Amino acid sequence: MVEILSPSSLSRDLRDKHYLYEKFGVPEYFVVDPGNKMVLIYRLEEGSYKETRLMADKGLPLTSIVLPGLSIDMQKVFDRMIPLV
């Protein structure tokens, strides 16, 4: 699951969906914050989410516990994004 933040859906993406995903046991999901070039990684551990922040400029790839072998260079993704006006 990947959510991309936008000003119009900020509260829904960070609060409401978080609650629902946790309630229904989604093992992992990502929230992409283009404005801060950051990805919030939520992994379910013992019934609640543990959050990890991945800053694109740190050079660490985005990996997944659900999709073994997935490795995404988020700096490249953010560099290619078209800025919202």
Q: Is the pLDDT of residue 80 over 90?
A: no
Mean pLDDT (whole number) for 46-64 = 93
Choices 3.40.50.300, 3.40.30.10, 3.90.1570.10, 3.40.190.10: CATH for 2-79:
3.90.1570.10
Mean pLDDT (whole number) for 41-69 = 93
At 84 the pLDDT is 62
At 63 the pLDDT is 94
Q: Which residue has the tokens 């283009």?
A: 34
Q: Are strands 2-4 and 28-33 parallel, antiparallel or unpaired?
A: parallel
At 32 the pLDDT is 92
pLDDT mean across residues, the chain: 90
Contact 51, 40 (CB under 8 A): yes
Q: Is the pLDDT of residue 18 over 90?
A: yes
At 59 the pLDDT is 85
Rounded CA separation 51/40 (Å): 7
Q: Where exactly are the structural domains of the chain?
A: 2-79
